[in-house]
Amino acid sequence: MQTTHSPRTLGAALAALMLAGCSFIPAYERPSAPVPTSYPATVPTDTAGAKPAADIRWQDYFTDPRLQSLIQLALENNRDQRVAVLRVEQARAQFDIQRANEYPTLSGIGNFTRQPSTTTGKYGSVWQVGAGITSWEIDFFGRVAALKEQALAQYLSTDEARKSGQISLVSAVASGWLALMSDEELLDLSRRTLQTREESVKLTQLRLDNGVSSELDLRQAESLAQQARATLAQQERQRMQDENALVLLVGQPLPDEVRASLAASRLAKAAPMQPLPAGLPSDLLQHRPDISAAEQQLISANANIGAARAAFFPRISLTAQLGTVSTELSGLFKSGSWAFSFAPQAVVPIFDAGRNQANLAAAQVGRDIAVAQYEKSIQTAFREVADALAGRATLQKQLDAQQAQAKSDTRRFELSDLRYRNGVASYLDLLDAQRSLFASEQALVLTRLQQLQNQVALYKVLGGGWNAAPDDQVAANARR
């Protein structure tokens, strides 16, 4: 049998086919980076041929076995990192939910109705069993697809945020470990200084008893000793606070063997870190997960515009059922009891008091906000790298000067002490030499700490380990 179709019917079918898969998502274009093409301060001579930070695993950059064990514990136990992994799983589930909306949902239907007849007034029963599709939206105008793209971008953004958090956690543990090492060194320095000043008090007391020194010298020596005692207490408090901060990052108390090894640790003997090439600011777009996360947020906001635009067009849904109906339970599957229904529906917006227009305006503003946030993330990354490079260019010079000053102050103290013991110099000269030596030794430790932490920061801001293979075991532990 041959079936003929009118031109109007063929035109409607052709239009439906053309509209299927239609998308109103604006074409995405990555905004240009609002930063210069090069950094203001670089040190290319010591990084020639060096491996990019993004390609260096943290295990290869931080080679101290004690620090490696702490970083591993942090990746397994840190609660912020665990939350970040769970948020990725949540975002993936949200994407799966949105993706499922593209497909019809088939449900089994069972129904029993007992009601009076409108003619006889007697009660009758109706049994119904079947399967049906309820309100499946046929995505002619791409609204469902746009929402799926939005959910996918949100999922990818969350995953990039997790990577960024992991890089930050690794760097925070490394900086905290170096801070603890400096605390131990400063504590040792404060103890030695206090011991020296207490010996100076005894010597001054002896000289006073023999009429060689005045009471003023004794009181000055006692004052300096108390100052050293107060500094020691301050250093002890700082040491405990820094350990507490590191314990929070690690997620558990520090292993006993690690704590015991700290007393003999010195920053000057810390495991060296590899030289890192700065590259170009454009490299940050590929190596910084926080920038990638911001870009995925921008893509999500762009897809949201497509969904808002599609809301202006008819929303076509389909409801269909197939089953068997009978007035008796035993007659459900007998011949002649089968029935079906097919009910497409089109909802066309006519008047909504400007709701759809407002949703579109909000979506467009949301994209503009996402653009600004993306550009700010690039500017922030540029500033962080520039600061770290400035530190690399100047901290070594500062450290060399501090070492020279500490060496000079040590010799000055030795000479002042010798002259005072022989009655050639006044006690004020010795006190001034003691203060200068203590201050320069403290500054030397802090400058060395600043230099090492700057190397950690440079590894972080260049996206250290971003391209390295993920640690599946760590991710599995974080999911528990």
Spell out the residues 6+ positions from residue 347 whose beta carbon is closer than 8 angstroms to its own: 314, 315, 316, 317
Distance CA 92, CA 104 (A): 20
Quick one: pLDDT at residue 237? 96
pLDDT grade, residue 5 (50/70/90)? very low
Q: How confident is the model at residue 152 (pLDDT cuts 50, 70, 90)?
A: very high
pLDDT of residue 19: 45
The predicted model gives 126-143 an average pLDDT of: 82
Q: What are phi and psi of 123, to 5 degrees?
A: -80, 140
How high is the pLDDT of residue 239?
94
More confident residue, 328 or 393: 393
CA 357 to chain centre: 36
Question: Which pLDDT band, with edges at 50, 70 and 90, does 11 fall under?
Answer: very low
Average pLDDT over the chain reads 85
Whole-number pLDDT of residue 128: 77
- pLDDT tens digit sequence for 188-202: 999 988 998 888 888
Residue 137 or residue 119, greater confidence: 137
> pLDDT category, 281, cuts 50, 70, 90?
confident
Q: What is the mean pLDDT of residues 90-97?
A: 92
% of the chain exceeding 70 in pLDDT = 88
Give 308-329 pLDDT, tens digit per residue: 999 899 888 888 888 787 766 6
Strands 338-347 and 106-116, by their bridges, are: unpaired
Residue 17 has pLDDT above 60, yes or no: no
Decide if pLDDT at 116 tops 70.
Answer: yes
Predicted pLDDT of residue 321 = 83
Q: Quick check: 9 pLDDT over 80? A: no
pLDDT in tens, 252-278: 999 999 988 888 889 999 999 988 888
Residue 38: the pLDDT is 82
pLDDT at site 127: 74
Return the CATH number of 32-102+149-313+371-479, one of 3.60.15.10, 3.30.565.10, 1.20.1600.10, 3.30.70.2740: 1.20.1600.10
pLDDT at 475 over 50: no
- Given a cut of 90, whether residue 91 has pLDDT beyond it is yes
The per-residue pLDDT for 14 is 38
Q: Is 80 exceeded by the pLDDT of residue 37?
A: yes
pLDDT for the residue numbered 117 = 67
- pLDDT interval class at 444 (50, 70, 90): very high
Percent of the chain exceeding pLDDT 90 equals 48
Answer whether residue 360 shows pLDDT above 90: yes
123 close to 115: Cβ distance less than 8 angstroms: yes
Q: Find out whether 427 and 204 touch, Cβ atoms under 8 Å.
A: yes
φ, ψ (nearest 5 deg) of residue 251:
90, 5
Burial 141-168 (b: 16+ CB within 10 A, else e): bbbbbbbbbbbbbbbbbbbbbbbbbbbe
- Give the whole-angstrom CA distance, residue 150 versus residue 129: 38
pLDDT of 455 higher than 80: yes
pTM of the model as a whole: 0.83
Domain ranges of the chain: 32-102+149-313+371-479
Q: Determine the length of the chain.
A: 480
Region class of 423: left (phi > 0), else alpha (psi between -120 and 50), else beta? left
pLDDT at 191: 92
* 373 pLDDT more than 90: yes
In this structure, the number of other CB atoms found within 10 A of the CB of residue 48 comes to 8
Residue scoring higher pLDDT (325 or 345): 345
**Could you tell me which of 190, 207, 171 has the C-alpha nearest to residue 75?**
171
Note every long-range contact of 184-188, with CB atoms under 8 Å and residues 24 or more positions apart, other chains counting.
184/239, 184/262, 184/263, 184/265, 185/265, 185/266, 185/267, 185/445, 186/235, 186/238, 186/442, 186/445, 187/232, 187/235, 187/236, 187/239
pLDDT at site 253: 93
* Per-residue three-class SS string for the chain: CCCCCCHHHHHHHHHHHHHCCCCCCCCCCCCCCCCCCCCCCCCHHHCCCCCCHHHCCHHHHCCCHHHHHHHHHHHHHCHHHHHHHHHHHHHHHHHHHHHHCCCCCEEEEEEEEEEECCCCCCEEEEEEEEEEEEEEEECCCCHHHHHHHHHHHHHHHHHHHHHHHHHHHHHHHHHHHHHHHHHHHHHHHHHHHHHHHHHHHHHHHHHHHCCCCCHHHHHHHHHHHHHHHHHHHHHHHHHHHHHHHHHHHHCCCCCHHHHHHHCCCCHHHCCCCCCCCCCCHHHHHHHCHHHHHHHHHHHHHHHHHHHHHHCCCCEEEEEEEEEEEECCHHHCCCCCCEEEEEEEEEECCCCCCCHHHHHHHHHHHHHHHHHHHHHHHHHHHHHHHHHHHHHHHHHHHHHHHHHHHHHHHHHHHHHHHHHHHCCCCCHHHHHHHHHHHHHHHHHHHHHHHHHHHHHHHHHHHCCCCCCCCCCHHHHHHHHC
* 124 compared with 174, residue with greater pLDDT: 174
Residues 233, 194 contacting (CB under 8 angstroms): no
- What is the pLDDT averaged over residues 21-48? 76
